[in-house]
Amino acid sequence: MFRAFHRWAGVSASLLLVIVALTGAILSIFPLLSADRTAARLNAGDLVVAVQQAVPGAEQIVVDDNGVMSAVSFGANGLEQTLIDPATGAAMGAVQSSQLELWFENLHRALFLSDAGHVTVLVITVAMVILSISGYFLAARRMGGWRKLFSRDRGDGAGGLHLKIARIAGIGLLISSISGVWMGASTFGLIPETSPYPAWPSAISTEAALPADQLAALTAIDGDTIRQITIPRAGIAGQAYLVETDAGAGYVDPATGEMLTWDQRSLWSKVMDLMHLLHTGQGASILGLVLGLMSLAVPVLTGSGLLVWIAGRNRGPKLHNTDAAKADVILLVGSETGTTARFARAAALWLQGQGQMTHIADMNDFAPETYAAAQSIILCAATYGEGDAPHSASDFCEAIATARPLLTPISIVGFGDSSYPEFCGYARKVAETLRERGWSVPTDIHTVDRQSVQDFATWGRDYAAAFGLPEPELATMVDPQPTTDLTLISKRTYGEEDQAPMAVLRFALPKRSVLDRLMRRGFAGFEAGDLLNIVPQGDPSPRSYSLASASKDGFVEICVRKAPGGLCSGQLYALEVGETVHAYVSTNAAFHAPKGDAPLVLIGAGAGVGALAGFIRANAAHRPVHMYFGVRSRRGGYAYDDDFAAWETDGRLTSLTLALSRGAKPRYVQNTVADDAVRIADLINTGAQILICGGRDMGDGVKAALDDILTPLGLSVDALKAEGRYAADVF
């Protein structure tokens, strides 16, 4: 385990590790050059008086982590910072920033890439922690135990050099990397960074202010502990000194000299101070320089480590994804969320076990001119929405149209959900297109319903029989999709009076790892419109529901209609607060609210309201959003009724138009769209984007109504879809 951690952390991050380490070593020099080593410093009271004389109008005295003191004031040129002698309070000229230091600092902290760079550097620093810890375990194993860790090593070559340097330099690298991870995690809010923050005094003396050197609370503060002093403005009553020291922060009455309130520095703040000192060397410049010199070992360790890794690869077995030109079997994957790739990998693993060389790629990477050695082509094709191509196969049919047909037989495996009208519709379209173009598709497509490993195993048996291979056990070779337990925290039900029971279910957001947060994956990075896949009791096949919330909302929410005889929907509708379900998140990028400030037209009915409600909830920028929602009646309320009212009030929802199919004048949502043709046409002319979610019949009706509206404009639904201004998630 430690060897794998050490190998992949080093290989994947080698270049960036060198950049971060070298810039860190350079930055360790600056604290040594700029540190203020004044021994006898004025106490806070005497310091304030001296600074007020030296810098008239001074409003704040600041001491940086390197002990350098400055006074902040506002002059003719705006904000001015003046260096202060801590021993006398005398002015020493304007503060001058080192542009060279700032340049290296930006490279070290963010690689000149702003937020993305900060994330990258944090990941690289985590890799260094992993490398250091795993490296010491490996070294101890090689040397015969921890007690012999620093014994003489007789190894030579790259491995010997690597071990000799790493055993010493690793101590400094571990200190620098752990402190760097702590600081980076604090930057992203993953751990608290709590500076002392005293409460505002309930009463401040209105008497005339005394000179600061006559205020007992100030004169009692040793100059070596001062971090910041905010000076009250003259002539303004009700103000107090705000003093921050190594111990904490408090307000001092300018008339009585009493410490009015005080907030002791917390343990978190003290730990942060320690981590900052260890990582930057500011406040301990000699230690910082030593740690910086140890960082110079990283380029040598990286080079020697890569040499050891390359040598190991040359000795070990090769399990590459074979080049397409040499592969016996080509496996092409069309997937929207990535789940289909698990099945393709299982097929490749089985075929490799039979001595076949395989090549796996996206369907969009279809390159038949390179398939000269292929004896078979396998297409694993998922279906998105209304029989559409998934993201990684969006260009496949166009590529077929221009490619020269091969005689190589093609086996097509369609992946989908049989509850959708267009079950495996895209796979069927691919089969039809291939046959029309003269490709060899000797058998009908095989379908896999809701990621059923049994369905996939059936395809495997048929494929093996066709090619004279032993019958595989594919059902046991597909990597299981990991799930997370979600706990229900609230439940709202609607529609029982209209025989259309529906529930809005809110689950607690599960714990998410730091890595998940940084990568914004799974429950750490989902958006409204993504899919919550729930595995019901009694059936391993997941059911997918559109998410009505985003991870930043702090909860997981879906809207579920109880279908007659529905296994999963029945279990969800019966779920009580405190009970759990097994689920995982998959991305549905094709059904996210588009970025920008163009108006949104949201159209839905029934449980399709979930994702649309999530889009409205996320509309903090108050872009125009118009909602058309079909329900049976108002009896007993309807899903998100109170939320819609609140969102209209706070500006997140511009308008709500209801279609009541059991009202005095029964109307379906497509009817209300047609009735509002003039406004919708105006919105489309101003760049509006349309999002539809709900049942297939509703989706077809709305699409027809929109085409009627668009035709006079010289547009169509297909044209809007091509422009990225129309998306539908129908079921």
Residue 317: the pLDDT is 31
Interatomic CA distance for residues 444 and 656, integer angstroms: 47
Residue 558: the pLDDT is 97
Interatomic CA distance for residues 28 and 258, integer angstroms: 41
The mean-pLDDT minimum among 99-103, 412-416, 687-691 falls in 99-103
Q: How confident is the model at residue 157 (pLDDT cuts 50, 70, 90)?
A: low
Residue 389: the pLDDT is 86
- On whether the pTM is more than 0.75, the answer is no
Q: For the segment 641-690, what is each residue's pLDDT rounded down to a tens digit?
A: 999 999 999 999 999 999 998 877 889 999 999 999 999 999 999 999 99
Locus of tokens 């058998």:
443
Q: For the segment 398-408, what is each residue's pLDDT rounded down to a tens digit?
A: 889 889 999 99
In the chain the first and final C-alpha atoms are separated, in Å, by: 45
Residue 110: pLDDT above 60? yes
Nearest residue to 400 via CA among 371, 425, 423, 431: 431
Helix (H) or strand (E) holding 656: strand 655-660
Spatial contact of 373 and 402, defined as CB atoms under 8 Å apart: no
What 3-state class would DSSP assign to 84? Answer: strand
Residue 131: the pLDDT is 82
Q: What percent of the chain has pLDDT over 90?
A: 49
Mean pLDDT across 576-602: 91
Interatomic CA distance for residues 336 and 391, integer angstroms: 5
Mean pLDDT across 551-565: 94
In order of 249, 415, 548, 595, the CA distances from 531 in angstroms are 48, 16, 9, 19
Locus of tokens 């291979």:
469
Spatial contact of 37 and 288, defined as CB atoms under 8 Å apart: no
Spatial contact of 602 and 612, defined as CB atoms under 8 Å apart: yes
Residue 28: the pLDDT is 84
Q: What percent of the chain has pLDDT over 70?
A: 93
Question: Which tokens belong to 416?
Answer: 């989908």
Interatomic CA distance for residues 458 and 481, integer angstroms: 20
Mean pLDDT across the chain, nearest whole number?
A: 87
- Would you report the helix, strand and coil content of the chain in percent, each value rounded to 5? 45, 20, 35
Q: How confident is the model at residue 309 (pLDDT cuts 50, 70, 90)?
A: low
Q: For the segment 310-353, what is each residue's pLDDT rounded down to a tens digit?
A: 654 543 333 357 888 999 999 999 987 778 888 998 999 999 98
Residue 430: pLDDT above 70? yes
CA dihedral 571, 576, 581, 584 (to 10 degrees): 100
Spatial contact of 592 and 617, defined as CB atoms under 8 Å apart: no
Residue 518: pLDDT above 70? no
Question: Which tokens belong to 618?
Answer: 């996320």
Residue 155: the pLDDT is 52
Nearest residue to 86 via CA among 128, 25, 52, 44: 44
The C-alpha R_g of the chain, in whole angstroms, comes to: 33
Spatial contact of 172 and 294, defined as CB atoms under 8 Å apart: yes
Spatial contact of 710 and 717, defined as CB atoms under 8 Å apart: yes
Residue 257: pLDDT above 80? yes
Residue 66: pLDDT above 70? yes
Q: How confident is the model at residue 489 (pLDDT cuts 50, 70, 90)?
A: very high
Residue 508: pLDDT above 80? yes
Residue 111: the pLDDT is 86
Residue 319: the pLDDT is 33
Environment class of 367 (CB within 10 Å of its CB; exposed 0-12, middle 13-18, buried 19+): middle
Spatial contact of 291 and 281, defined as CB atoms under 8 Å apart: yes
Residue 692: pLDDT above 70? yes
In this structure, the number of other CB atoms found within 10 A of the CB of residue 83 comes to 16
Residue 380: pLDDT above 70? yes
Question: Which tokens belong to 468?
Answer: 């004279």
Nearest residue to 599 via CA among 499, 507, 729, 686: 686
Spatial contact of 51 and 212, defined as CB atoms under 8 Å apart: no
Residue 590: the pLDDT is 81
List, in sequence order, every residue forming a beta bridge with 688; answer none if it has no partner. Answer: none
- The CB-side HSE value for 377 (13 A sphere, CA atoms) comes to 29
Locus of tokens 């994947």:
12
Spatial contact of 603 and 660, defined as CB atoms under 8 Å apart: no
More confidently predicted of 579 and 184: 579
Which amino acid, one-letter code, is at 714?
A: G
CA dihedral 541, 547, 553, 557 (to 10 degrees): -70
More confidently predicted of 82 and 288: 82
Question: Which tokens belong to 122?
Answer: 């944090």
